[in-house]
Amino acid sequence: MDSSTRFKHVADVAWRRKWWVIAPAVLATAASLALVGMTPKVYRATTTILVTRQSVPEDVRSSVTLRIEERMRSLELQIFSRSYLERIVREFKLVSADAGEAEIEVACRKLRVQVIPELDKQNFSWFRISVDDRDPRRAAGIANRLADLFTEAHSRLRASQATGTLEATENWEQRYRLELAKRDEEVAAFKKQNLHELPDQQATNEQLLDNARSNVARLTADLQSTNGLLVKLRSQRDAERATPVAPSLAGPAAGGEVGRLAKLQRDIEGLLTNYTEENPLVKRKRAQIAELARTTPPNAGAAGTLENPAVAAPPDSISVHIAAVENEIRALERDRARENAKVYAYIAHIGNAPRLQPKFLELTRDSDQAKRELDIAVVQNEQAQHVQDLEESKTGDQFQIQDRASPPTAPFKPDVFQYLIGGIGLGIALGVGAAAAREFVDQSVRSEDAFATMFPGLAVYGVIPSLDVDLKSSHRSDARSHGAGGFA
């Protein structure tokens, strides 16, 4: 059977069995309309929440670690949590006040089926909470209440995190301040204990060492000169004792004073060959001369002269002069010993510097590290304070209800159009199936082609027209004129 013949056969079957399809379709449509009328009406209310990003400069970074994206990804879990659903069930009196745990659980499960969250998964800029319920007012109320619970919980969570971060940064700052104070005390104690041995004192120590060595050299030269003078005085004393001299008119005491003045004058002349008037030794000699000049009697010059006091001075005056020179020698030796001690001390300071330098560097390095950590903690604390201010003023990342749900006027379910399409489709399907089944069990031969197909070995000698043809058709007279016929 070619395609044209098959198409004609199908068209013939469809025309002959049209009522088999139309009748079930009409009945199914009527049934769907009746079902729409009997199905309880369900209303859907929707609340839309927008995400408002922080309206602060970019350099103020939030320390709240829970980002908007994370909160929105967990939206469904939060909305369907038992704490949320139970509050809604009790507030909207979906269970009695004295309901048991099992009854509350059943009500929460029913409410969970009624709630439909919708999320902007691309930009995370909005989300919706829809609620289906037979009561439109209750549907809107549940949707708005769920949105309020979610936004309030988010604000409390962010404020709590900001407060916790601020407390942590304050503790860090206090701890680093204490650590820095401890390090500074250790550095100060080390400097106090090793004041002259620190690396930064080396230049000063070297300069002081040079000065001390110069003082030692000068004092050594003074000692040599004074020792020479002492030798001369002792020789003179021994010579005078061997040759008696007439006593001075001024007396032994006056001669001794004059001898001391002459000796001090000679000492100054010797010192001025090497030093200036500003030298401490020269100043001290000048002070001694002034004191002796003030206490010496006017007639003391009769016994001798300052230029050569030993000539006329009695023997006891030379002894006094020798004693003064010996005292001067002892003073110079003490000064030289003191300067030598300084030299040894400065040498020790310079030698100890390399040994103390690693310890000093370690202490200062720890102190510098504590300072850096404190600076970081101060910045973090200021940042945390800014974030807390943002959360308190609601200028950070927040959820804002854009469109609150209102009681819907038209039911969301049942959908009349869907019911009609479904009814018509079901009726047509049933009709087509019934027509196909009826055609399959019908064994009537309705055309020459069908007869030739069923009995290919038999020849057709004549065709009896169909008696079902419309009487008004132009072929009715031809059918009567031909009379009875058949297949052979």
Residue 422 has a pLDDT of 84
DSSP string, 179-199: HHHHHHHHHHHHHHHTGGGSG
| 175: Cβ contacts below 8 Å, ≥ 6 apart | 377
pTM, entire model: 0.44
Rounded to the nearest 5 percent, the helix, strand and coil shares of the chain are 70, 5, 25
Nearest Cα to Cα of residue 175 among 376, 407, 463, 443: 376
Residue 246 has a pLDDT of 46
Q: Is the pLDDT score of 301 beyond 50? A: no
CA–CA dist 357, 104 (Å, integer): 76
Question: Domain spanning 43-170+392-403 has what CATH number?
Answer: 3.30.70.1130
Of 359 and 45, the one with more pLDDT: 45
Q: Is the pLDDT score of 24 beyond 60? A: yes
Percent of the chain with pLDDT over 90: 5
**CA atoms 421, 422, 427, 433: torsion sign:** positive
Of 86-95, 99-108, 211-220, 314-323, the least confident: 314-323
Q: Where are the domains of the chain?
A: 43-170+392-403, 443-488
Report phi then psi at 401, rounded to 5.
-75, 115
Q: What ranges make up the beta strands (E) of 65-125?
A: 115-119
Q: Is the pLDDT score of 166 beyond 70? A: yes
pLDDT band at residue 141 under the 50/70/90 scheme? very high
Name the residue type at position 309.
P
What are the tens digits of pLDDT across the range 223-256? Answer: 888 888 888 888 888 887 776 544 443 444 444 5
Q: Return the C-alpha torsion angle 223, 226, 231, 237, nearest 10.
A: -150
Nearest Cα to Cα of residue 157 among 400, 401, 403, 397: 397
Residue 250 has a pLDDT of 41
pLDDT band at residue 130 under the 50/70/90 scheme? very high
pLDDT band at residue 419 under the 50/70/90 scheme? confident
Mean pLDDT of 134-163: 84
CA–CA dist 352, 330 (Å, integer): 33
Q: Is the pLDDT score of 394 beyond 60? A: no
Of 290 and 49, the one with more pLDDT: 49
CA–CA dist 334, 340 (Å, integer): 10
Of 468 and 23, the one with more pLDDT: 23
Residue 486 has a pLDDT of 39
Q: Is the pLDDT score of 470 beyond 70? A: no
List own/partner pairs for 262-269 with CB under 8 A and 24 or more apart.
Answer: 262/304, 262/306, 262/307, 262/308, 262/309, 262/310, 263/229, 263/309, 263/321, 263/324, 263/325, 264/288, 264/289, 264/292, 265/289, 265/306, 266/229, 267/226, 267/229, 267/328
Q: Return the C-alpha torsion angle 303, 306, 308, 314, nearest 10.
A: 30
**Which run of H or of E encompasses 128?**
strand 126-133
DSSP string, 342-409: HHHHHHHHHHHHHHHHHHHHHHHHHHHHHHHHHHHHHHHHHHHHHHHHHHHHT-SSEEEEEE-----S
Residue 454 has a pLDDT of 65
Name the residue type at position 414.
P
DSSP lists the bridge partners of residue 45 as: 131
Q: Kindly list the distances between the CA atom of residue 187 and the CA atoms of 1, 194, 205, in Å, as whole numbers in the listed order.
A: 111, 10, 20
Q: Is the pLDDT score of 215 beyond 80? A: yes
